[in-house]
Structure 1
Amino acid sequence: MDTKLKKYSHSIITKIVIFIIAIICLTGIMKVIVEVEIENAQLSNALEDHYFQSFTYVQESEKLVRNLTSLIEEYKNEEHILSGGTISEDEWGRVERNLFSKYQFDSRSYNPELSKEINYETFKQEYADEITQARDKMIKDDLKEYHLLLQNLEEYEVPLFYTSDGKNVFTNTTLTEKMQFETYPSYMTFEDYKQEIYPKETKENEYLYRLTRHLDRLDPENTVVYVAFTEEFLDSKIKAWQENKVIATEKLYKLAGFLIGFIFSFSYLILVIGRTSFKDQELHLNAIDKLYNEIKIIICIILIPIWLELVKEFYRNIDIFLLPITVPFAIVGLVLVLSVVKHFKNKSFIKHTLIFSLIYKIVTFVGDVYRSGSVGVKTVLIVIGYPILVALTFFMFPVTIGLAAWFAYKKIKSFNAIQEGVETIKDGNLHYRIEVGGKGEFGRLASNINSITDGLKNAVDNELKSERLKTELITNVSHDIRTPLTSIITYVDLLKKEKDASKVKEYIDVLDQKSKRLKLLTEDLFEAAKASSGNIPVNFERIDVVSLITQGLGEVNDKIEAVDLDIKLNHPEGKMYITADGKLLWRSIENLLSNILKYALRGSRVYIDIEDLGNEVILTFKNISAYELNISADELMERFKRGDESRSSEGNGLGLSIAKSLIDIQRGKFHIQIDGDLFKCMIYMPKHKSN
């Protein structure tokens, strides 16, 4: 069964048969549409259950109600029109504005230096005749429309109507009372904010809004509108509607049948067109497919008005000529549409257009020359190419002029932006950015100038920061050195005067402590200077970072227990190798651990996480600070800066700075983050690449 399906589904015979079925269905659809138009049938009648719920019923009185509401609401009577009552302020305002614009361009009396009010007064005096003529023309047009509406009302014998606003009356009957109109089998009344429609089935008519929207505009206090349909009139209309319903139902069934057949046949053709089987990945094109797609679409569009004109030409004998006219048009149209569909399936719809082909060739050629040439070559290319473009597109010369003007304006605007930006930067505003879009010379020039500005700004910022750090360094070093030095001097003076041996020993211990403190500070300062200058030799080797930290934590375990900290080490199973200098790396980690031991909250946990990021290994240290961290991460990285701003704790603030410098010279990255009292440090080291 599957083999047979594969054999017949894409065969040429099957395709031809289905194509013929599609043509028959398409021709049938077009034939039904023409017949509906000729017989003046409304297909909507086939779906309507009752005449009073039909579009036809509303259509009988819609024009009448529209004319009545226009007369009673807008035109009223001749005196009202002649007095200008029908001219609204908006309408007259538009007329005056148009005349004033003409005055501005044509009159020598207009003075742009004067105020609009003064010019307007001059305009009304100079253009008094034109203003009067414009007003008279509007009145004359409204009067003409008024009499045309009255003439239309005179043609109505049925429906019967009566409308009045208390002063003006428009009617075609002697009936004037609402009760009189209610005696008829179908009526509509509008009076005292009430709309009454009979029979009740009419209220369910979905097209009734086409009547009520006109009536809703009227003043309900003074206006009445009565419309009634006589029995004879209704009988004839109902009979005609029933006959039309029979015709419409027949046509609707035919149309639905042909439409379903066309949808299925066309869908099949879309599915199999251009392929020999369902597994066929290649789309096979023929001679018709070589025609450009937009040309095929234009031909299809042109076929429609030609077909309509031929149908109108043979209108009287359409039964004879409809099929001979329609079938060739349907065949040509369907073949062209299927060819376009084939290009959609082949993803070549845009590429296989004449416009795309021409533009692609021109752009490719110009682009090759433009990219390979200097500014001079590009200028020559534009000078030579533009007249050629104008000559080729003389029928759209304004467009090419507009494009050229736009291109020139854009380039001049870019040049001016660069010029102004350079002036601004020259005046010392290094934060200014030159914004020039595009990737041309001006764009690259603006980008290069911005890069230079960024470099200058960074250099200035670094210089300012360096000066600030030097000042802070001198201040902090002076403070940290002066403290132990002052103590040494003080205790030396006391030692000279003291005779008590026990106190002498006590003073010597203090002197020993302060001298060691001064020595340590000096060594740290020297090490920080060496680290920041990069003069420390680095011996890169393969290091198992997990073992390094595990052993290091063992060495400082006594210190950890002394401050009652709980170390939580998390790392992947197995060894994890990085490329670093073991001594310098441990010195950095040791400084960091020393910082944690000094400033971490006693009795809290310290988390050390080791993660593999692919090309890098990250070491993360997290702890809760015992002191309030009211300082930014950047400031904390500066030398002699401590989270304990009161400087009551031990330490000189060099630990983090030294650690960062040592990590930097090992090609790693050192970052810290502060979130409330949470201190977080991250060390990124390059992962060792095995040979």
Structure 2
Amino acid sequence: MDIKWKKFSHSLLTKIVFFIITILCFTAAITLFLDIVGLHHNDFDIVVEDSYYLGREYMQDSSQIIDNLTTLINFKSEENILNGGALTEEEISREEDNLFRDFEHSKRFNPKLSYKENYPLFQEIYADKIAQIKDELIQADLRNYNSTLRELENYRGVFYYVSDGDNTFTNGINNKEYFKKYPSYMIFDKSEQTVYPEEISKNKYYYWIVPDTSSLEQTNNTTLYIAFTDDFLDPRIDDWYRNKEFITYSLYKIMGLLLGLAIAFLYLIVIVGRKPEDDGVHLNFIDKLYIDFNIALCLLLIGSWFGAINFLLFENRIFEAVFPITLVIATLGLILVLSLVKHIKNGTLIKHSLTYTIFHKLFIFIKDVYNSGSVGVKIVLIVIAYPLLVALTFFMFPVTIGIGVWLALKKVQEFNAIKEGVEKVKDGGIHHKINLASSGEFAKLAADINSITDGLNKAVDNELKSERLKTELITNVSHDIRTPLTSIITYVDLLKNEKDQAKAEGYITIIEQKAERLKILTDDLFEASKASSGNIPVNCEKIDIVSLITQGLGELDDKIKEQKLEFKMNHPQDKVYIEADGKLLWRALENLLSNIFKYALDGSRVYLDVADIGTEVRIVIKNISAYELNISSTELLERFKRGDEARSGQGSGLGLSIAKSLIEIQKGRFNIEIDGDLFKAIIIMPK
């Protein structure tokens, strides 16, 4: 009997069935929960509410009406608003502060001066805008006043009366008893505060209206009456009952689904990796994935789900797509989780991780270094063993640290002796000998240095010559060329004395990268020099500019997709011809597009506008920069200037300069404009 049961419970079909049950229960529970959160505004409290008057919906409607009436009574009247009676000095001062912050980011602001010293200049420059502040605030208050009136007019089945003694707003009459005839009302004045039904005062959200009514009570003559008719209440009460029934039923279903999910998932945990014929854990191709990557993919799936749900929520399409999205992501996630479970059963959760593999190989490497008896033994002991020794002997760490300091000082003295000897040899004392009493690695290094006599002067002369050439080159180019060149020199110097082959290969790799970078900068500099000097032949011809741009964008389609950019091109329906050299013009456009690929915000739009302006054609390219463009357009056109102030990109800073020169030698005009993070390049060519 046990064998038959095991064959059934551990069969592939059983695993698939329970896998499907787990996924469906999880997906359905999530979908129902999001349905309550989204369509029913996260109103779980409605399940325990006894009536509509104790619910959130009633308080939301009441609070909104009271807010609107409070707004009107604070404004008093349209005449009061137009006379500036609704304005406060704080509002005006706040708007002036906003203008001053704009001034702080302008070129006229002097950071060396204090706030008080800059303020008169600010008042002079922004005099017109400061004068307009009050008018703008009055117009804003007037719009708010009128929109509030319209909103109150849209309420059906609601009667209200509010008055401060001088100003009155009502769609009924000033009579308490009149308002008390309706099935629900609120009376707030200096002598009475009454709500009906009385259970409203026990509503947990009653505090929503308390601050507003309290502020009304603080004014001596303010009176507020609100009454709700059956026309207003009946449909809302019906909706409340329907929502209560739906949410209650949905919560019962969610609990049932979660129970099914727990049972199915626990059963899967028990049988996953097992087969009827034995008790071993059987792994498949998915289980070959490193545990680190598995966990990372699980986190990625969770993040993808939240991202997709947020996107659908923003697009108002969540409820039609949440089930399939959750189903797919949950299926992939459960496969990965079950793979982790199998590794736990197999005892390989740690050993099958990439982190463990790397550290294990590192341990083997350290062990091999130790067994080799090379200088690596001492380095490993210092870097790894000593901190461990201090941790293990924390109860006597002063002694351990003292011994370590003494040994370190001894080695420092040997190092200083070698350093002083090298200094003397460098200064011309090539017969100087470095004598060390020890027999360690420093002694061997000192012996090697002592053997260096022949060819030292020649090496020094060559080095000085090399430094002189590098200095001349650095003097003639900008910071961008100086940086890779300095890096090359530094790593070449390190490579001369480096004994560790692994480090030497690393240095060579870096040198190769910097050399390639230097080649690109030099080529750009050469091209910029040719373009600016006008030494490039120009063969002008009749060119269809729209076709040229369209064809070029097609060639760059892979690059555009890679950076997730969306190009929007606007141009006349008729063909637009210009007089230009096609190759040079495309080279200039290519420089601008390359600039976009380097610095544009990923996923943003790029606009290409072609316009016929009489005897000329204007081409405008606009994009949003991924970097803050806290630089003027004039500075950005200078050579070796880049938009990213951190200079972390690979651009030479010559692209815009080359583009400008290429356009100008074709008798065109080139300019750029910057507005916040919007970068705009403008090319004007003759027709």
- Scaled to the shorter chain, the TM-score interval is 0.3 to 0.5
Larger radius of gyration: 1
Provide the TM-score with structure 1 as the length reference: 0.45
TM-score normalized with structure 2 length: 0.45
